[in-house]
Amino acid sequence: MRFMADDQSGPEPFGLRASRAELDDLRARLRATRWPDAPEDAGWSLGTDLGYLRELVTYWAEEFDWPAQEAALARLPRFRVPLGGLGIHFVHARAVAPAGPVLPLVLSHGWPDSFWRYSKVVPLLTDPGAHGADPADAFDVVVPDMPGYGYSDRPAGPPLNSIAVAGLWAELMTVLGHDRFGAAGGDIGSHVSRYLGLDNPGRVVGVHRTDGGIPVFAGDPAELTPAETAWFEQAAAWGAAEGAYGAMHRTKPQTAAFGLNDSPAGLAAWIVEKLRAWSDCGGDIERSFTKDEILTNVTLYWLTGTIGSSMRMYRANSEIAPEQLARRVDVPSGFSLFPADIVRPPRAWLERTANTVRVTEPARGGHFAAFEEPELYAQELRDFFRPYRAAAVA
């Protein structure tokens, strides 16, 4: 599947379906996988477990029903619109039976996913009354695919960084008629949400994030608290043990793209290992994601051919100027630090880098909290943004 920027000036409904030829080709490639060897009892210690991936690939080839998953995703109201010379795919779900001011909310995903990350949480946010919550907490929800991810176009030239994507999202919200709005996200989406608040303080009423971003500090290390110093050390240790994927994405993403874009088994290995390592699954990935859920995410990458373009965004973000990274977010900021997420920042760092008004530590969930624990994540957003609803319509 390849897309080009649409010719029309406004959003158009999106309803693309995979062809039979594309699915037949995928199954043929899966059945012809040339498997590597692995040391006996290596498990997940060296990367993706061979036995698990064989099982997953067999299910993908013989039982996985992509048309059914595609139809489920199609129940979300999805559109495409040209922005900055690119066709941007997004979900735009309006509040159902709101009982007060409706707050528009733009949700930004990260890697390795797409709008898929928020597919479970959208109905909880638009229709809280139907899910045991207060109808007054309803949102108008916008979930775009970043350029080079999912069904959004891939930049033909240099990849866009988080600052540029935040600019596109501000334009998207204008096109959709949302003058003031909230921003939320995790992973790269946390970075994008941060810049939305930094560059649009008159429009963004609040920023909610599930992480504190990459720890970068250009000041005197003596100014850091002991908790911040320990966090920097933990982050460095995590990078040495777990960060090889990020180094590849930042430096030589195109090299990896040749293999990952040609082999669906290789693509699954690259993504599945991160779903397991970064989720609150206790080592059993299927405690957090079913096979169908895993393969829906991976199949989106396969059919859109976006693994290379998604990785290239790491290169763009690595080149953001230090003075941009050092900016402090002045709009009200909230953080939900889920227990199994990647190296969690201390409150001192959050207060140093943002106007932090709320920090919570939910009982369950990891890096993909919106998908792993949608009810908890939805409640975190409801609670944080509740004081700022009136500001959105003032």
Confirm whether 367 is a catalytic residue: yes
Q: Please name the residue that has the structure tokens 């638009």.
A: 126
**Do residues 168 and 148 make contact, with C-beta atoms less than 8 angstroms apart?**
no
CA distances from 76 to 69, 150, 255 (A): 12, 15, 35
Reading the block at residue 248, the tokens are 């590849």
Q: What is the DSSP letter of 337?
A: -
Terminal C-alpha separation, the chain? 43
Task: Judge whether 123 and 188 are in contact, CB under 8 Å.
Answer: no
List Cα–Cα distances, 257 to 2, 8, 177, 263, 308, in angstroms: 16, 32, 38, 10, 5
C-alpha to C-alpha distances, 171 to 23, 190, 379, nearest whole angstrom: 35, 18, 28
Active-site position among 6, 153, 187, 341: 187
| From 52, 118, 149, 314, active-site residue | 314
Which listed residue (127, 367, 377, 388) is catalytic? 367
Nearest to 136 by CA among 97, 180, 178: 97
Q: How far apart are CA 101 and CA 86, in angstroms?
A: 32
For tokens 């096109």, the residue is 175
Q: Are 122 and 143 in contact (CB under 8 A)?
A: yes
Task: At 370, list the tokens.
Answer: 């919106």
Q: What are the φ and ψ backbone dihedral angles of 144, each rounded to 5 degrees?
A: -85, 150
Closest CA to 143 of 209, 208, 90, 197: 90
Residue 314 falls in the annotated catalytic set? yes
What residues are annotated to the active site?
187, 314, 367
